Amino acid sequence: MAIQNFDKLNTIGLIHIPEERKRSEPYETYFGDMYLTEEQIENRMVIAGLLEEPIRNWLLLLLIGVTTGVVLYEEARQELLNNLIALNIASVDYLEMLTTEITDSTKRHPDDDWYFSEDRVTFISEEEANTIMNGTEFQEARQRGMRRKQWIGMKDKYERETHNQMNDMILPIDEYFQVGEAQCLYPKDVISPYTTLPEHPEELVRCRCQIKYLP
């Protein structure tokens, strides 16, 4: 990794990735391209903004560890988990899953600059803000007494065929969608009792689908 050539630790900062390697989008673009209300977009942007600092600090800590040859992965993960729990934006079970997954993926790619970049901070923040709000909106719909749900996909050239097959499908609110080989209560569902989306990242990562809740 190029960062290992730096002479002083106090010069270390997260790596800036060339445009052609970036995976994230500006929050306004990423959320604005979905079928969301202005309030839903704003809520996701707020959550993404809250996630940025603890994720950036965690990644910087891991980068310093890689640079010095002393990487305390579990200690860094636990600190990140504590900081995210303090935000009170998601369940502890979900945050445990998130911090374990992103720490493990970092551990598997110590020589890939992208895993220690500002772009990854933005990518994780916007992905997980969407995941968190999809789950929050599902729970709120149940509490309001909504009984049905309709899958709303993007219907563009980038949509996965397995997601396209779900478009406009209406189910009882507690029935699982079958998306390819995965099942879920709503897009990006990672916490429901019988969801299998976490086992099928090909159906989970960068999903832009949403749900319309119906009486």
Res 10: pLDDT: 52
Res 156: pLDDT: 87
Residue with token string 């990794």: 1
Res 3: pLDDT: 40
How many other C-beta atoms are found inside a 10 Å radius of the C-beta of residue 116?
26
Res 68: pLDDT: 87
Residue with token string 């310093």: 64
Cα–Cα distance measured from residue 185 to residue 162, given in angstroms and rounded to the nearest whole number: 15
Nearest to residue 93, comparing CAs of 54, 45, 135?
135
Cα–Cα distance measured from residue 113 to residue 104, given in angstroms and rounded to the nearest whole number: 16
Task: Give me the tens of pLDDT residue by residue for the chain, a chain 215 residues long.
Answer: 444 444 444 567 899 999 999 999 999 999 999 999 999 999 999 999 999 999 999 999 999 998 888 999 999 999 999 999 999 999 999 999 999 999 999 999 999 999 999 999 999 999 999 999 999 999 999 999 999 999 999 988 889 999 999 999 999 999 999 999 999 999 999 999 999 999 999 999 999 999 999 99
